[in-house]
Amino acid sequence: MSNYDDDDDEIEDDDGDGPEVGATIEIVGLSLYTHHGVTEAEREVGQRLVFDVRFDVGEVDALVTDRVEDTIDYGKVCEEIALVAQQRPYKTLERLCAAVAERLAEKFGAESLSVKAAKPEPPLALPVEEVSVEVWREE
């Protein structure tokens, strides 16, 4: 939590060490062809899903070092999402998102993360632009 310091017009955190700094990493619009859905036909034929992922990673060393090794490599995150999303079918987007979130938390850790999966062309009788589910977890 930050406090305004009237004496020198700077923002300090409660322990007086300086401002709080953190990082959020987002991946938006990762499009993958998958085989998920309630009906057997949906799982057999497959469809495109679009993933959005957000990591709140807090204060990572890369803020100072400028080294990819000191943060979460979003290329590797995309690879892990693809592995989970394409390795087996799920009936619900909720379970798929939870499986992706579990893998990402295990592989990369994070203070919190969210995974959203959207079906741009859902198999519904009514006109719907997209359906989606978002799952989040906090450590």
- For residue 36, the model assigns a pLDDT of 92
With respect to residue 128, please indicate whether it lies within any of the assigned structural domains.
yes
User: How wide is the angle at C-alpha 112 spanned by C-alphas 26 and 59, nearest 5°?
Assistant: 75
> What is d(CA 137, CA 139) in angstroms, rounded to the nearest whole number?
7
Q: How many CA atoms lie within 13 A of 131 on its CB side?
A: 12
Q: What is the pLDDT along the chain (139 residues), one digit of tens a residue?
A: 444 444 444 334 455 567 888 899 999 999 999 999 898 888 899 999 999 999 998 898 999 999 999 999 999 999 999 999 999 999 999 999 999 999 999 999 888 999 999 999 888 899 999 999 999 999 8
- For residue 31, the model assigns a pLDDT of 98
Contact in structure between 101 and 115 (CB atoms under 8 Å)? yes
- For residue 16, the model assigns a pLDDT of 59
With respect to residue 15, please indicate whether it lies within any of the assigned structural domains.
no
- For residue 42, the model assigns a pLDDT of 86
Name the residue range of residue 88's domain. 20-138
- Domain CATH code at residue 73: 3.30.1130.10
> What is d(CA 52, CA 116) in angstroms, rounded to the nearest whole number?
5
With respect to residue 8, please indicate whether it lies within any of the assigned structural domains.
no
- For residue 82, the model assigns a pLDDT of 98
- Name the pTM for this structure: 0.82
With respect to residue 3, please indicate whether it lies within any of the assigned structural domains.
no
With respect to residue 12, please indicate whether it lies within any of the assigned structural domains.
no
- For residue 13, the model assigns a pLDDT of 46
Q: How many CA atoms lie within 13 A of 91 on its CB side?
A: 3
Count how many domains the chain has.
Answer: 1
With respect to residue 86, please indicate whether it lies within any of the assigned structural domains.
yes
What count of residues does the chain have? 139
With respect to residue 130, please indicate whether it lies within any of the assigned structural domains.
yes
- For residue 127, the model assigns a pLDDT of 94
With respect to residue 37, please indicate whether it lies within any of the assigned structural domains.
yes
